[in-house]
Structures are given as structure tokens and as C-alpha cells.
Structure 1
Amino acid sequence: MALNCFDQFMFPTYLGVPLIALATLAPMIVFLKPTKQWLTSRLTTLQAFIINNSAYQLFSPLSSKGHSWALLIISLMIFLITLNLLGLLPYTFTPTTQLSFNLAFAVPAWLATVIIGFRKKPTHTLAHLLPESTPTLLIPVLIIIETISLLIRPLALAVRLTANLTAGHLLIHLMSVGLYTMIYSLPSMVLPLSILLILLSILEVAVAMIQAYVFVLLLSLYLQENT
């Protein structure tokens, strides 16, 4: 039973070809592209409004040097949100439920912020490894702890996104299976479970958007420390 539940998180293939590539390219197909027209549709205007406000919220605390990352981070946020929402459709696959897929985005972005910090402000970056006014005996221990916390950041980014999406998809799957089996055995529970399943699906939509925003928000905070 547990194996059947987690089968939905395996890489789907068709004729030996992994379909994760098609799922990764899906946001490029469904997302609206800006036009050169003066008057755009309501959906395009709403899309631009959300993007502009998200960029303002993410980059207003950053210095002017960090603003050069705006296009990359906003594009990553839109990409992750679209992937997460498309993965909620029936008979689809969510690439962001794979830890390796999320690490492929988290590790290079985190490493780039660290390299920028060591190039631009090496003294300030190294100072983060040792809090001020630390007792002499605790200096080696704190340096090791802060170094581990620095190296574990990309893993925390990827695991947070993977765990939240996996848990939500698994709950929806288990509740759907339970609802299907109760149609004949316990009909009185069908309506409450149906309402609960709808509410859980709405919650999962919110989680899909919030987790993508949290992913890029933490990246912007790492960037703020190093610019």
C-alpha cells in the first residue's frame, strides 16, 4: 500500500523517455508572454501586477548591487509556482517533489551568493562564521557550527520545498483513495470527506504558491548577506 502511494512521485516514462523534461518545459507553454501592444488583456495586466509587487517585496531590503539578480530570482519564482500548480492537475507529474530536482536549483544559486560574498566582502562574509564577543574557548566550536549551518542551507531549501509538496500530494492521494472506498461501505462519510478533500486541495494550491515564494525569499536573504 505504501509503495502504491509513493508511486506518484517516481519519474514517469513513456517508451523509455522520461517525461520530467516535458513537465519542466510546461511553464514556458502555459505562461503568458508580454506583447508590444499598449492595451493588454486583464490576465496579462494581473500577471504584471503580481510580478512587479513580488519583485518589490523581495528586493526592497537589498542594496542596489543585489538588484541585478531580480530577473533571475523572479523568473525562478514564476517557474516554481507554475510547476507546483500544474502538478496539482489530475494525471500530471510534479518535478518539484524530487529532491534532486530542487537541489539542482538550490545549490548553484546558494553557491553563487557565497562566491559573491567572498569576492566583494571577504572580511564581512567570514565574520558571519564567528559571532561578536564570543569566549575564546567557544571559538572553534562556533566556527564549526556556523560553517555547517552555511553548508546546509541549500539542502534546507530543497528539503523544505520537497517535503511540503510531497506531504500535500500524499494527503490528497490518501483521502481520494479513502473516499473512493467509502462510497459503498460507508456512504454517510462521503459528503464530509468530499468537503475536506476540496478544502485540502485549496490549501495545497496556497502551499504550492507560498513554498515557491519562500524558496526565492530565502535566496534573496542569502544574497542580502553577501552584497
Structure 2
Amino acid sequence: MNLSLFDQFASPIFLGFPLIIIAMLFPTLIFPSPSSRWLNNRLLAAQTWFISNVTKQIFLPISLPGHKWALMLISLMLYLISINLLGLLPYTFTPTTQLSMNMGFAVPMWLATVIIGLRNQPTMALGHLLPEGTPTPLIPALVIIETISLFIRPLALGVRLTANLTAGHLLIQLIGMAAFAMLSLAPSVSLIIIIVLFLLTLLEIAVAMIQAYVFVLLLSLYLQENV
């Protein structure tokens, strides 16, 4: 039976039950639970240090009213990092390779920032559609262009996350297939390909973390424009 390279991105189903639900719920089970001890262990200390520094980096340019979003955005980032990294394990599935799921994250969050801007400061929110000093004949065209770019933002968020993870997974599978095919023909070449595959896996781990950070960072920039 010939399998397509893209079969790995199909949502797996076992006995009629979609396993993507388990993949989405599993990250919540691997985080350490809150402890009543005065002194935490090294894992919790490292996790607290990481969350504190990332939160400070993201929300430093955002005004004080926007800091209410800290818990939601940082939780989303940790959730995306967990899903992306768990998807690199053998015989697992990465839900963030599904555009529908990424759009489910991107559209509500983006829409919430737009609604907040229209409610709290409608003049400034609508002012982003027309740059200052625009010549009068160009006003209609620029308003249309800026409106289109505004509605493209959630699509760009979802497509960026999906495309980067999909490309990395495809490249890993292609190089893995090449290493397996060359194992009997040219073992020395196969060894070189396996080393390249190992380095690519390390790169994909970095991409999985960076893309989650970029996703939340762009949402914070949209929030910065509307608070």
C-alpha cells in the first residue's frame, strides 16, 4: 500500500474516536501541579523563571490595561509549545499542523483585540486604517488596503504556524526515508544523513518553541495597538 507524505497530517481516528482530542488534552497533564511547600524544586523554579522573563519581555511595551491579557497569552504560548514539542515524538500527532485548529486560536484572539480597540478608543482604532498625511486622492484606496490587511492578520497567524510545522515534519520524514533507503546501499552515506537528521530534529525543536512565541508575540502587538 502506497502512503502519501501528507498522511502524517491526517487526524488519526481509533475505533471511531478522534485521537486529536487526546493530543490536545495531554499537555495539561505534564505540567507540575501547584505545591504547598515553601521551597519549590528545580523544575518549578526553572518554569517560574522562564514564564516571568517571557511575560516581562512580551508585555513591556504594552500599556497597563493590556496586562490583563498576560495569563491568557502566556497560557496559550505554553500550550502551543507543549503541543509542538510532543508532536516531534515518534508515533504521535501534532494538532497544530491543522489549519482549522490554528485558526480557532487566531480568529477569536484577534477579534477580541479589535473589539477592545473599538470599544475603548474607537477614534484611534479606526485611525489605523488611514495613515497620517495621506493625500486626498489616495484615501479610498488606502482605507480598502488597510482594511484588507486587518482582516488578513488572523489568517497570517494560522498559516504561519501551520506552514512552519508542516514543512519541518515533511523535511524530517523525507530525510528519514532517504537514510533508511541508503542504509543497505551506502552505509557511510546513510550515517551522514542520520547526522543531518539529528541536527534537523534539534532545529525543529527550536522552531516548535519559536513559532509558539511568535504567535503570541504578534497577538501582543495587535493588542498594543488597541489598548
TM-score, normalised to structure 2's length?
Answer: 0.98
Alignment-derived partner of residue 205 in structure 1: 205
For 1:67 and 1:34, how far apart are their aligned partners in 2?
23
- Structure 1 Cα separation of the partners of residues 209 and 128 of structure 2: 31
Cα distance per residue 1:79-120 (max 9 Å; x no partner):
000000000000000000000000000000000000000000
> SS of the counterpart of 1:38?
coil
Aligned residue in 1 for 2:29: 29
Is 1:92 the equivalent of 2:92?
yes
Structure 2 equivalent of residue 190 of structure 1: 190
Q: TM-score, normalised by structure 1?
A: 0.98
Distance, in Å, in 2 between the alignment partners of 1:216 and 1:59 is 11
| CA displacement, residues 18-77 of structure 1 (integer Å, 9 cap, x when unaligned) | 000000001111111221211111111101110111110011111110000000000000
* 1:60-71 equivalent positions in 2, closer than 5 A: 60-71=60-71
Query: Given residue 51 of structure 2, which amino acid in structure 1 is its aligned partner?
Result: I
Q: Which letter maps to 1:82?
A: S
Q: 1:155 to 1:78 in 2, by over 3 A?
A: same
**Take 2:223 and 2:117, find their aligned partners in 1: how far apart are those partners?**
8
Counterpart Cα distance in 2 of 1:197 and 1:57: 33
Q: Residue 158 of structure 1 aligns with which residue?
A: 158
Identity among equivalent pairs (%): 63
User: Cα distance, 1:185 vs. partner?
Assistant: 1.5
Instruction: Give the SS at the match of 1:144.
Output: helix
Instruction: Report the count of equivalent residues.
Output: 227
Structure 1 unaligned blocks of 5 or more: none
C-alpha RMSD of matched pairs (Å):
1.2
Mapped to 1, the partners of 2:3 and 2:53 lie a distance apart of 42
How far has the Cα of 1:3 moved from its partner? 5.5
Shift of 1:132: 0.7
Partners of 1:3 and 1:32 in 2: how far apart? 39
Q: Deviations 1:158-184 (Å, cap 9, x if unpaired)?
A: 000000000000000111111001001
Instruction: Trace 1:125-204 onto structure 2 (pairs within 5 A).
Output: 125-204=125-204
- Kept in 1, the 8 Å contact 2:5–2:170? The answer is yes
Distance 2:119 2:210 in 1: 32
Q: Distance in 1 between matches of 2:191 and 2:24?
A: 36
The CA distance in 2 between the partners of 1:2 and 1:30, in whole Å, is 36
CA contact (8 A) 2:179 2:191 kept: no
User: Does residue 7 in structure 1 map to residue 7 in structure 2?
Assistant: yes
Cα displacement (A) at 1:188: 2.2
Match of 2:114 in 1: 114
Letter in 1 for 2:146: E
